[in-house]
Structure 1
Amino acid sequence: MVVGPAATAALAGVGAGLLGLGAVALRAEPRRWRVGVLLAAGLWSLMTAATWAAAPTSPLAPVLLPAVGALLLGLLLVVTGLRVLRPEGRTRLDVAALALGVAMVGATLAGLALLGSAGSAAGAVGAPAVAAADVVTLVVLLLPGLPGLSFLSYLLYCLAHRGHRPRPAPSAVVVLGSGLVGGTVPQLLAHRLDAGAAVWRAERERARPGDGPLLVPSGGQGDDEPMAEGVAMTAYLVANGVPPGRVATEDRATTTEENLLLSREILRARGLVDGHVRVVTSGYHVGRAALLTRRLGIDADVSGAPTAWTFVPTAFLREVLGAVTLHPRLHLGALAAWAVATGLLAYAVLAG
């Protein structure tokens, strides 16, 4: 199979158009995963076109970006699963993550190695043998390809969302809880509270004297916590200079969705039904929190607080899995489409 310059140029044009649509979608509504899907599709088209421009006879160019995504996801799973090396932190999920990550990285590297060997052997063996080797390579590369693309599209969505500038003058600033340690506010939660307080102070300075947003720390009491997170969060904010009268404590939520819904109840009870709110959470959690605000019909901008890098890989992996569960039918449909596309591409390689 030889891809001509016209087809390569057309595919590059499609890629550029998809990137443009992604930018438009981001501007219209930054809280949609489709932003990342469009950006990933655009990059996929451009990478494929660039590969075909350099090697017009390469039939497997379309699998390169899925392979990159699979490598990234596999490495993230390996980093997460390496906690099994510490017996005190070992869980079945860690073992499964490590095994899956090693399998994804191994399969992808093996597929890329087969791709190189099949290409170098093209002049030494017959066309049927080369086609068969290409099909084997294709299947090996595409096994982790769909989760790799899903991960890559979610990562692009999160990165694009970081560039979105929150609107000024929110009616409230909601800080999402993340758990207490020994009944006290840990560093992760302190970063969220500090970021929320900074937003609250900046908005109060812009507002008229006596006005400004309400600050809502949100979090219920876990089985291993002596008090509700919201109570400890309120005490932290007050100790750091926020007037008690400007804080409304939410102390029942046990999930991010409950954080948002119960905080909205507090705002409605206080007559704050107009305008948007600002939701503050950790940086790795912004993407899924933004998806949830849109799903729940809450007009919100979501911003992130700093997080220690050692915590990010494990936490972000949980966020990816959590985001997938928000759209189960969509991902099942994508899986079916991926299987069909894999079959068609394999047939095209065999047919030459």
Structure 2
Amino acid sequence: MGYLITSIPFFAGFAISFRFERRRMLNGVLLLAGLLLVAIGGLFALLDLPAVRDRVSGGELVFLAFLVLTVLLPAFLVLNGLQMVRREGRRLGNLLSLLAGVAIFGFAPLLLMLGKNAMPRALEVVVISAGFVVGYLSLAFAAFVLCSVGYGLLRPPSGADFLVVHGSRLIRGAVPPLLASRLDRARTLYAAGAARGAAPTVITSGGQGADEALPEAVAMADYLVEHGISRAEIVLEDRSTTTRENLVYSRELMTARNPGYRCLLITNNFHAFRTAMLARRLKVNGQVIGSRTAWYYIPSATIREFAGILRDYRVLNAAVIVLIAAAYPVSMLFQPH
């Protein structure tokens, strides 16, 4: 019961934080803390039931959790990574789920050795410190996934003045399926606005890559015109090469046309929450809408987005990781020999 009561402030904090700003990672941290406390309290309550206590031990549950985390989860990641390579090629971004699965498989035997006290003291210190860091990253990743999923379930607000479609790499000068899904979502939102008598202006945002025959913004605009949107309703932002530049340059265009603008930013669902976090930091007045993505693409893409957030907040995360990694070795100095 104590765990359930302790979870209440975290759920209340989440509700307040989310009410005032849905584009922050703190929401996921508070929600995850509350859910973990509820899960722990529920597990202890379940184990106290005589019918359960006589059949299942705490050790068996720990073994089951270890099996899921060190065998089933990495097996899924490896299989997904192989599918990504087969369908999308061997670029580093497509290898992330495969590499994560292999890393977990490699770390699991060390945990078994640690549990059996079968490793040298120095290696034990390294493994335990690494385990703390992995635990921190795992919890941060879980909070990010909660934020991403929850943010993606929100209905898009109505009344936007602009729809900003973020670009992605063209394939032989044409719009690939990943980018087409963003443009199709923009078409749906545009049609909804037009039906209310307030059709938004569409901004196609994307510059020209070194391997592209034309700017992404131009190809995107051509796609929209082919599918029924008037060229007069489209504004090109053809300078950006990163998500940050998408936001900065589009913000300049929107502010010049309407200083009190409201916008919807459109990207793929796996990229929506990180884009929303960045939009908040850059003071872009809008929310992010995610378009659908092929399921097999999502695990690697989500890991890539999480790595991007670690990079975006690298000073804070580096400080936390150093403190966590140093905690156990420092505590050894104060233990009697």
Normalised-by-shorter TM-score class: 0.7 to 0.9
Partner of 1:273: 259
SS in 2 for 1:152: helix
Q: What is the distance in 2 between the residues matched to 1:93 and 1:240?
A: 31
Question: CA–CA distance in 2 between the matches of 1:48 and 1:65?
Answer: 13
| Other structure's SS at 2:186 match | helix
Match of 2:314 in 1: 328
Alignment partners' CA distance in 1, 2:104 and 2:330: 23
Match of 2:19 in 1: 27
The alpha carbon displacement at 1:164 in A equals: 2.5
Residue matched to 1:162: 152
Question: Is the contact made by 1:276 and 1:299 (CA closer than 8 Å) also made in structure 2?
Answer: yes
Aligned residue for 2:31? 39
2:282 matches 1:296: yes
Counterpart of 1:318 in structure 2 is 304
- Inter-partner Cα distance in structure 2 for 1:69 and 1:292: 31
Count of residue correspondences: 319
1:104 aligns with 2:104: yes
> What amino acid maps onto 1:273 in structure 2?
P
Residue by residue, what CA displacement relative to the aligned partner does 1:88-122 show, whole Å, maximum 9, x if unpaired?
9445677786455323245358748977x89xxxx
Q: 2:183 aligns with which of 170, 181, 193?
A: 193
**Aligned mate of 1:18, from 10, 13, 26:** 10
The alpha carbon displacement at 1:188 in A equals 0.9
Which runs of 5 or more residues in structure 2 are unaligned? Answer: 118-123
For 1:247, give the aligned amino acid. Answer: I
Among 153, 160, 168, the alignment partner of 1:178 is 168
Please name the residue that 2:120 is paired with.
none
Cα distance, 1:143–1:273 mapped onto 2, change above 3 Å: closer
CA distance in 2, matches of 1:65, 1:280: 38
Alpha-carbon distance change, 325 to 172 in structure 1, aligned in 2, over 3 angstroms: same
Aligned residues of 2:125 and 2:328 also touching (Cα < 8 A): no
Judging changes above 3 Å, is the alpha-carbon distance between structure 1 residues 11 and 191 closer, same or farther for their aligned structure 2 residues? same
Is this contact kept in 2: 1:104–1:144, CA < 8 A? no
Over 3 Å counting, the alpha-carbon distance change for 1:236 and 1:138 in structure 2 is: same
Root mean square deviation, CA, Å? 4.0
The separation in 2 between residues aligned to 1:246 and 1:91, in whole angstroms, is 36
AA in 2 matched with 1:245 = A
Answer whether contact 1:108 1:141 (CA < 8 A) is retained.
no
Which amino acid in 1 is paired with 2:262?
H
State whether residues 84 and 94 of structure 2, in contact with CA within 8 Å, keep that contact through their aligned partners in structure 1: yes
> In the alignment, which residue of structure 2 is the partner of 1:146?
136
Shift in CA distance, 148/228, structure 1 to aligned 2, threshold 3 Å: same
The structural deviation recorded for 1:341 is 6.3
Structure 2 letter corresponding to 1:104: I
Q: Offset at 1:49? A: 3.4
Deviates more, 1:253-262 or 1:76-85: 76-85
Q: Summarize the Cα distance change of 1:103–1:314 in structure 2 as closer, same or farther, 3 Å threshold.
A: closer
Contact 2:255/2:261, CA 8 A, preserved across alignment: no
Q: Which amino acid aligns with 1:41?
A: A
**Matched residue, 1:49:** 41
Q: Is the 8 A contact 1:79 1:313 kept in 2?
A: no
**What is the deviation of 1:78?**
3.1
CA contact (8 A) 1:214 1:246 kept: yes
Kept after mapping to 2: 8 A contact 1:77/1:97:
yes
In 2, are the aligned partners of 1:178 and 1:219 still within 8 Å (CA)? yes
In structure 2, relative to structure 1, the CA distance for the partners of 1:243 and 1:96 (3 Å cut) is closer
Secondary structure of the residue that 1:248 maps to in structure 2? strand
- Matching of residue 217 in structure 1 with residue 204 in structure 2: yes
Deviation at 1:40, TM superposition (A): 1.6
Give the deviation of 1:324 after TM superposition.
Answer: 1.4
Matched-pair contact (CA < 8 Å) for 2:88–2:94: no
The aligned amino acid for 1:234 is A
Native 8 Å contact 1:26 1:160 kept in 2:
no
Shift in CA distance, 90/236, structure 1 to aligned 2, threshold 3 Å: closer
Deviation at 1:171, TM superposition (A): 1.3
Question: Identity, % of aligned pairs?
Answer: 34
Contact 1:177 1:189 in 2 (8 A): yes
TM-score, normalised with respect to structure 2? 0.79
Contact kept? 1:107, 1:141, Cα under 8 Å: no
CA drift of 1:148 comes to: 1.0
Q: Which amino acid aligns with 1:29?
A: E
Does the 8 Å contact 1:26/1:161 carry over to 2? no
